[in-house]
Amino acid sequence: MKLLATGLLVIMAIIFAISFALQGRYPWLEYVRAASEGGMVGALADWFAVTALFRHPLGLKVPHTAIIPTRKNEIGESLGEFVEQNFLSETVVRDKLASVGVSRVVGTWLTKQGNARRLTNEVAAGLTGAMAFLSDDDIRSVIEGLARTHIVGRDWSPQLGVLTSKIVESGQHHHAVDLLLDKAEEWMVANPDSFGDAVSKRLPTWLPSFVDRVVDDRVYREALKFVQAVQADPNHRLRLALDDYLRKLSRELQHDPIMRARVEGVKEQLLDDPRIRELAAVAWQSIKDALLTALADPESGLRLTIEQTILDVGERLVTDTVLAEKVNTWVEGAATHLVASYRHDIASVISETVQGWDGEETSLKIELQVGKDLQFIRINGTVVGSLAGVAIFTIAQALVSLFP
């Protein structure tokens, strides 16, 4: 395009030279000379104007030339301010989000099986990367620190006492007692020999064997009868005794300093026990290995659950208008808050980026992007200059003929 625009200037210069030389012999060439002269003037003027945007014409440091490389910082700041004021305003962002319907768009996208699977893969990759990034020692240290802050560092006895009192008053502990009794009866019925052996081991060795069997059988039958009696009677004395004990324990946990000190001592001993720490480390490693295995398997229950959850969320966003409205309101509020709080920082990225560019490289990049149109300006200037030149000459000739 530069060659084309420059070629037109050269053609105009050649036409001007020929017509200027021969206009005395051929008077009509005066019009051609005027047209070519105007074309040269227009071409040169627009060449100077276009070139002045990007560099100094002919290397001459004429004032107000090489505008882009010398004023790129100001251009970057102006561009950043323009974006901040016209694109990052609360009204523009809110109106755009309201017209888009974020919940509907997102919900429709999530309801597609391929998109849900893709998002599940991304979630799995993110979780896997996060667990690979985290140090096991650091995790254990964090867990231990949290435990010491929130468990060791606080007196939980009053809360335990209140909780125990509420459980006793509501009778919820009866379910646990019933479960223990059922399991005890089930084991005793299925393992009478094991129960007898346990009793025989505690009898004196000098007793005859038949006495052992009699004692084993009697103790077994009495124990089984006792367990069944407690099972059948909701007001059995053992149940009532357990209720009384739990009530007393709840009161002591709340008000007895000695009991509270004993609970704190047991708590500290448990947490300071190396075996507890080792158990915590093993538990974390087991959980981590299980998660990594599940995340690596595309057909694992965990990943299928995540995928189904994504599909369900997308379906609700599309069909549940109340939820969709809440999501849209939340997104609009969050976006406008971010824009109001950080729009200057966002816009400053533009100005800071432009400031970091090299002036000549910036000028070259912009010229390559818009240079074709700028060269058309030179071509148009040549044509318009030619027309203007011949028009001015024609008007001048007419005036001379009218007023000799």
Q: 199: how many CB neighbours lie within 10 A of its CB?
A: 16
Q: pTM here?
A: 0.50
Q: Who wins on pLDDT, 203 or 236?
A: 236
Helix (H, G, I), strand (E, B) or coil at 201: coil
Contacts of residue 162, defined as CB under 8 A and 6 or more positions apart, other chains included, come to 250, 254
What is the average per-residue pLDDT within 223-237?
86
Which pLDDT band, with edges at 50, 70 and 90, does 263 fall under? confident
3-state secondary structure 68-115: HHHCHHHHHHHHHHHHHHHCCCHHHHHHHHHHHCHHHHHHHHHCCHHH
What is the average per-residue pLDDT within 367-391?
87
Distances (CA, A) of 105 to 59, 91, 192: 55, 21, 67
Q: 160: how many CB neighbours lie within 10 A of its CB?
A: 16
Structure tokens at 105: 């768009």
Specify the DSSP element, H or E, that contains 176.
Answer: helix 173-190
Which residue in 53, 61, 79 sits closest to 355, CA to CA?
79
What is the average per-residue pLDDT within 274-288?
69
Check: CB of residue 236 under 8 Å from CB of residue 178.
Answer: no
Mind listing the pLDDT tens digit for each residue in 321-330?
Answer: 888 888 988 8
Q: How many residues does this entry show for the chain?
A: 404
